[in-house]
Amino acid sequence: MSQAPIARIEPGDDPYRWLEERDAPDVLAHLEAENAWLETVLADQKALRETLFQEIKGRIRETDLSLPVPWGPWLYYQRTTAGDEYPRHYRCPRPTDGSLTLDDTGEELLLDPNELAAGGFLSIGAFSISPDHARLAYSLDTSGDEIYQLFVKELATGEITALPFEHCDGSMTWANDSATLFFGELDDTHRPHRLYRTRLGEPGAALVFEEGDGRFFLHCYRASSERQLILLLNSKTTSEAWVLDADTPEGTWACVAEREEEHEYYIDHGKLDGQWAWLIRSNQSGINFALYQSTEAVPARDRWQTLIPHDETRMLEGVSLNAGGFVLSLREGGLPIIQVHPQGAAPYPLQLPDAAYSLYVQDSLEFDSPVVRLRYEALNRPAQVRQLELATGAQQVLKETPVEGPFDADTFVSQRLWATAADGTRIPISLVAHRDTLGKPAPLYLYGYGAYGESLDPWFSHARLSLLERGFVFAIAHVRGGGELGEAWYRAGKLEHKTNSFGDFIACAEHLIAEGYTTSAQLAISGGSAGGLLIGAVLNLRPELFAAAIAEVPFVDVLNTMQNPDLPLTVTEYDEWGDPNEPEVFARIKGYAPYENVSAQAYPAMLVVAGYNDSRVQYWEAAKWVARLRATKTDNNPLLLKTDLGAGHGGMSGRYQALRDVALEYAFLLKVLGLPQ
C-alpha cells in the first residue's frame, strides 16, 4: 500500500459508527487494509522482528516440566515441548515416600491442547478433575469470544463426551459424587447469569439460580475443605454468597448474608483449632476488610465473630487456608505482604529480599497439606515457586523459572521511586534497568493500568530483557484506580475521581524525566484494555510529553460503549465509570473519553492492537479511535492499527504467536525512537 487507509466519514454524532457493523464487507476490508498498511510501514523490520523473536524464544526453556501438584493418589503436572504452542497435561502415580518424583512408566496424558487447537485459537476455561480422580471436566474457547463448549473425559477409557449446552461461561464445578457438575450460562451481554446442574448420563440440566441484576456476575466453586460448594454473586461494589453441602448436590442452597449495597464479603470453609468453620473476609467494618469466623452450618451474618480486625493502614486482599492454618494476603505501603497463622501457634510475617516484588499464594494444595506454595518474582528476578511449611515458616525454592543463555539478575537494578501528583499525592513507580544504563537519560518504556482496584505488582519478563539489554529502562506507574495502596487508592481513581489516574501517570512521566532517567524524545508509554483508556487520555492531554505509545485492546470509546446496555459488560461497568444516563456522569465521561477528545494537534508515533473476537473491548473501539486520529492529528508520525482477526481480548493464544506479537511491538519502538536495530 502507498498510503494509510482513510475511513469514510458519515453524517451524525458519531461519524465512524459504521465500523461497528461486525462482519460487514466494508468493515472487514478496512481492517484488512489497516493490517496491510502496518506491514507496509514496518516492511523494513521483518528481519529485526525475526531476530527479536528468536532472541526472546532463545531465553525460554522450550521443553520443560511444571512443578507437580500432589492430590490424592496422583501427581498432576504439565510438559512443554519445543515447537508446541501449548503445554500438555499429565498425571502419574504419587510416590509413597512423599517426594515429587515422577513415575514415567505410569504417566497418563490427560489433555493435549496442541491437538485440539489444530493451528487455530484455543483457550482452556475449566480444567477440573473429579473428586474420585476418574473424570476430567474441561471447557474450550476456539475463537477468543470467551464462549465455551463443555467436555467430560473418562480417564480410564479416554472416552470424551461433549455436553450439549450453549452460551457457557467455561466454569465447571464438581459435586462430591463425581457425577454432578455445575456450570454457568452467559446472557446476551456476556454476563454469567444462570447456574445449572447436570448429572452425567442423564439428559438436560436443571436451573439452580438466575441472577436478574445486570451488575452482578455469578460464579460457583468448591471451598478449600472440599466439603462445601459456594455460589458467589458480585458486582464491582457488592456481593452475596450461597452455600451447599458438596455431598448433597440436589439440596437447597442457603444464603449467607443478603446483599447490601457497598457490602462485599467472600467466604471459605476449613478448620480452626480442629473445628470445622467458615472464614469470611468482609468490608462491613472498614474499606480495607476484616476477617471473621463462624462455626455455624450456614454462617449467618449476626453470628460472625471478629478474627482479624480492620486495619486502616493495610488492606486484607485475600485468605488462603488448609488444615495447617491460614495465610493472609495483605498490602501495605504499595507492596504485598504474606502473614501466616499456623494452627495452634503465633502468626508470623514472611521476610523478602527485594525493594519491589510480586508475591502471592499460588496453591494451598490439598486441604490436609502441611505446606502451601508461594510465587515470588521481581522485575530483575525470575519467578520462584517456594514451598512454605506453615508450622515452622521454613521456605524451600522448589522451582525457579529458567532463563536460557547468559543471565545474571544482579546485572539489573530494581528500584522503587515516588512521583508527586498535582494534589500532593505520592505515586509509586517500580523500575528496572541494566546497571550500565542508569546515570544518564535512556529510552524508557512506561506501563500503566489504574482501574478496577487491580495491582500491577512487578513481574519478570524474558521478553523484556531484549529491551533492557538494548539500553531501555522499564517502569510501572502505580496510579490511582489500581489497588497497590489499598481500597482508598482504588476509590481515588474511579467514578468522579477517574482523572486522578491520568494526572498520576503524567506526574510519573515528568518525574522520570526530571530525575534524568529519560527525556520526552525517548519516552514510550503502553497500556491495555482499561490501561488503553489511560494511554488514550494522557495522549490527548500531553502528547508532547511522549515519543511513542502502544495501546492494546484499548477501552477508548468509553462514552458510546457505556451508553449501549446491550453490549457485553456495559451495565456491570456502571460501578466503575458511572451511568452516562445521568447528565453529570455523561458530561464527566465525555470530558476524558479518548475517542471524544481527539484534537488537531501533534501526537507521538502510535501502535494500536485489537482483537476482532474480543467480547470485553470491542474491536471497533480501536478502529474508530485510529480513524479519528488519522483524520484529525497534525503530525506525520506513524499511526498503525493491527487487528488480530482470529483472536480475542488476550491476543493470540499460542506461546510462539504471543512472542511474535511482542517482537513486532519492540521492533516498532526501536524504529520510531530511532535506535540501532
Strand segments (E) across 493-651: 523-528, 548-552, 605-611, 639-644
- What residues form DSSP beta bridges with 329? 318, 338
Active-site residue, from 614, 615, 653, 661: 614
Is 529 an annotated catalytic residue? yes
Neighbours of 212 (CB within 10 A): 7
Strand segments (E) across 553-604: none
> Which grid coordinates belong to 56?
526472546
> Which grid coordinates belong to 482?
489500581
Give one DSSP letter per residue of 73-84, joined into a string: TEEEEEEE-TT-
Query: Between β-strands 605-611 and 639-644, what pairing exists: parallel, antiparallel or unpaired?
Result: parallel
Angstrom distance (rounded) from CA 146 to CA 123: 8
Active-site residue, from 225, 239, 649, 653: 649
Which amino acid, residue 166?
Answer: E
Neighbours of 159 (CB within 10 A): 10
101: left (phi over 0), alpha (psi -120 to 50) or beta: beta
Helix (H) or strand (E) holding 37: helix 25-41
Is 614 an annotated catalytic residue? yes
Is 615 an annotated catalytic residue? no
Nearest Cα to Cα of residue 416 among 355, 462, 360: 355
Active-site residue, from 529, 557, 644, 661: 529
Longest Cα–Cα distance in the chain = 74
Q: What is the SS3 assignment for 435-449?
A: CCCCCCCCCEEEEEC
How are strands ordered across the β-sheet holding 123-129? 123-129, 135-141, 149-154, 160-162
Angstrom distance (rounded) from CA 54 to CA 331: 38
Buried residues in 579-589 as b, exposed as e (16+ CB within 10 A): bbeeeebbebb
Altogether, the residues listed in the chain come to a count of 677
Nearest Cα to Cα of residue 643 among 554, 512, 516: 554
Angstrom distance (rounded) from CA 111 to CA 471: 42
3-state secondary structure of 198: strand
Q: Residues near 649 by Cβ (< 8 Å), separated by ≥ 6? A: 144, 146, 529, 553, 611, 614, 615, 616, 617
- Which residues belong to the active site? 529, 614, 649
